Structures are given as structure tokens and as C-alpha cells.
Amino acid sequence: MANDYLNLTDALFNLFFRNLNRYLDQKCEGTPADWLHIPVIARQELKDAYTEWSTSYEKTTVPHTPVDTEAKNEMKVQAKAKIRPFVNVYLREDQSAVSDIDRTAMGIPNKDKTPTTHPAPDVKPETAAAPSGKGRHTVTALNPRTGDHKRPDLIKGVAFAHRIRNADDPKNNADDMPSVFQTRTVRDFQWTEADYGKTVDYATAYENEGGKRGPWSDVISIIIA
């Protein structure tokens, strides 16, 4: 991988591995030691891995045989297999003793702490409502791109706006209606017998993983019966 911090030439990998061990020596072997969370056996295994790697690497810095090159390549694979879990367990951000400055000094990239931005959805669903029982409506947010009720990509769920009105009252504006959010794109609304004969307005809007809401659909109306 292009952004793999261990994807280095042999010479740079050797410098990285040597520097890592020297930095760990400073932090783990002082009196008193700065880092106490790394077991002695884990440190020794990493030191041994460096010794084995550097020995095989040094043989290829002078005239050498193809067998030496093959052995060096295999030791590099094994060394990486030791480094990765060691870093992930003992040197990552969940270890409070290890700072971003420490990781930079060791050549280990810090995790990007920039919050992921989630722009508001630009997809406007189409709302459908149909009677599904006595005093009950099933309301669906339809994906205008596919014609079904599957959520578009990066959409977490749907806000359902709803409000009852008398038949001769003007249609409600979606922004002024109460709404309820759910991840499913289909929702049942059950109304009481006291509401029979009245009109209810519905609208839907998509919301993304960041909680941002897209445009409301057109408001549709249906009689409660």
C-alpha cells in the first residue's frame, strides 16, 4: 500500500527499525522508566526480530548470493509481522503514555483526528401513503433514483413529518410539522377514531450518518378512515 508506513526500501526500513528500538530503549529502560505498559518479553521479541533482520540485511550490503537476498526478504516479512501488532497494541492512540510526538519520532503515523464531514443529502425522496388498516396509514420514502424504498448510499434513515388538519384547512408545510426519525424507510401511523374523517399531511426527508437532513419531499395528503 502506498501509505503503509512499513513500505520502505531496505535501507530505510533498517533505519526505521533501528530507530524504533532505540526510542523504545529510552522510554522503557530508564530509571524510572517512562513507559511501563510494555511487557519485557514483548520488548525482547522486537529486539530479537531487529537483530535477525539487521544480520540478514547487512549481508546484502556487500557482494552476496541470491540465497542471501532471499533470506533477507524473508526476514523483512517476518520483521513486519512483529512490528505491526507491537505498534497496534502498545504504541497507538489508546495508550495515553504514548503521545503524537512520540509516534512521529518513531516514524509511526498518527491517526487523522479531523472530524469526518457529512454534507447534507441532496436527494429528495418521493413520499407515498396508503391505507393499511382501520385508522392506519403506511408511509414510504421512495428513492427517486431507483423507484423503490431502498436508502441511497450514505443515508442512515428517514425523517417522517406528519400533522392532522381539517379537510378545508390549507396543506401544512413540512418544516412546520412534527417529525420522527427511523432507519427504515417505511413507517405505519395509527390514528384514533376521533380523527376519522380528518386529513393528515405527510412528508419525508433523508438523513445521513452525520445527522444532517436533506430536502423534504412534496407534502402529500390522505384522509383518515
| pLDDT tens, residue by residue, 114-164 | 766 778 999 999 999 999 999 999 999 999 999 999 999 889 999 999 999
Q: Is the same domain home to 156 and 94?
A: no
pLDDT value of position 115: 66
pLDDT at 127: 97
The answer, yes or no, to whether residue 83 has pLDDT greater than 90, is: yes
Q: Which triple of cell numbers denotes residue 37?
A: 505498559
Domain holding 155, by residue range, is: 126-223
The answer to whether position 115 is within a domain reads no
How far does the chain reach from its first CA to its final CA, in angstroms? 62
Residues 101 and 166 in one domain: no
Average pLDDT over residues 27-44: 91
Cα–Cα distance between 144 and 122 in angstroms, integer? 12
pLDDT band at 2 (very low <50, low <70, confident <90, very high): very low
**The pLDDT value given to residue 3:** 67
pLDDT of res. 15:
97
Count of domains observed in the chain: 2
Whether residues 97 and 142 fall in one domain? no
- Note the pLDDT of residue 159: 95
pLDDT of 29 reads 87
Amino acid identity, position 46: L
What is the reported pLDDT for 111?
85
Indicate the average pLDDT of the chain. Answer: 93
